[in-house]
Amino acid sequence: MIQDEIQRLKEDQGAVILAHNYQRPEVQEIADFVGDSLELAIKAKEATADVLIFCGVEFMAETAKILNPSRKVILPVKEAGCPLADCLTPEMVREAKARYPEAAVVLYVNSTVESKAEADITCTSANAVEVVRSLSETQVLFGPDANLAHYVAAQVPEKEIIPLPADGHCPVHQEYTLADVEAGHARGDAVVCHPECDPAVQEASDLVASTGGMVRQAHLHKDWTVLTEEGMAYRLGRLFPDRTFHAVEEVVCEDMKRTTLGDVRRALETGEYEVTIDEAIAGRARKAIERMIALRG
Ligand code: 13P
Ligand code: SF4
């Protein structure tokens, strides 16, 4: 069985497999750790294994490499990107900084390493509010997700949150509508959505949470409609078999779903595709990411 081959190769190589909550069920099953983007970043930073096989998308594997540069970090599918991350260029960040010289720059980890190098601090959806509250500046440039920026602005009204760009969105989470919330409520479910969803969807939902937050708060209700990539409903169902989690099955992140078990086996056999980042850029991005990690606890 391919799972046994992966296990054997993993032991031979001294590798660990990290997987995001949106990965295919069979990839989640062979992973040593499954989590949200903040949990994965922390795991990667603390990892002692020689090789980290990162089943997720490019910005997550890059964050792992930046936090633990002496490890070999492998992204099994080179094309596993994130259109949200790609919508913000470092030039756009530099221009905004020139326009708002007093503002702090907070970038969601769903951004390129070149853009992160321009940031004061990064955040994930699990800690965005905490990160923004930690700043001394009252004006904050926040990108690239405008819906997450809206969520933060509502939680931290004492700060001026300027979305950068004005209309950055995840195309996957943009697909959820009020009709999905209403369908969940009609079923008798509590509805949880990710803060990358449209503000109207956030406001109509019972809970807004990162994927890790969904795990931590699943005990609050028995039946849930989960408005985030469908892999999350699988993850929650595995963790809480006595509860039900309805997903909107047609809402899928193609990038997250690119990685198959065959890709994981090939990555272990060939060492492809190793993440490498120019240290001049990595060093600047590391400061912003480490500042976020240091807020923990
Ligand atoms: P989380 O940080 O909640 O895992 O989200 C990552 C992501 O890409 C959401 O689309
Ligand atoms: Fe990027 Fe959206 Fe996919 Fe998350 S779900 S990796 S933000 S495209």
* pLDDT band at residue 5 using 50, 70 and 90 as cut-offs: very high
Q: Is residue 94 part of a domain?
A: yes
Q: Which atom of ligand 1 is found nearest the CA of 210?
A: 3
Closest residue by Cα to residue 227 from 176, 156, 294: 176
Tell me: the pLDDT tens digits for 102-142? 999 999 999 999 999 999 999 999 999 999 999 999 999 99
Cα of 38 from ligand 2 centre, angstroms: 14
154 pLDDT above the threshold of 90: yes
Atom of ligand 1 nearest to the CA of 256: 8
CATH number where 127 lies = 3.40.50.10800
- SS3 assignment, position 170: coil
> Are 47 and 59 in a shared domain?
yes
Containing domain of residue 59, as a range? Answer: 2-81+256-276
In total, how many domains does the chain have? 3
Pocket of ligand 1 contains residue 58 by CB under 6 Å: no
Q: Residue 170 and residue 84: Cα distance in Å, rounded?
A: 5
61-99 confidence digits (pLDDT tens):
999 999 999 999 999 999 999 999 999 999 999 999 999
Query: Is the C-beta atom of 110 inside 6 A of ligand 1?
Result: yes
198 lines ligand 1 (CB under 6 A): no
Which of 169, 194, 229 is a domain's end point? 169
What the block records as the tokens of 50 is 């020689």
Residue 46 buriedness (CB in 10 A; 0-12 / 13-18 / 19+): exposed
**Residues 92, 20 within the same domain:** no
Q: What is the pLDDT of residue 297?
A: 54
Encode pLDDT of 222-269 as tens digits: 999 999 999 999 999 999 999 999 999 899 999 999 999 999 999 999
Of 118, 153, 169, the one marking the end of a domain is 169
Q: How far is the CA of 254 from the centre of ligand 2 (A)?
A: 9
Residue 296: the pLDDT is 78
Give the chain's end-to-end CA distance (angstroms, integer).
42
Establish if 283 belongs to a structural domain.
no
Domain presence at residue 292: no
pLDDT band of residue 169 (cuts 50, 70, 90) is very high
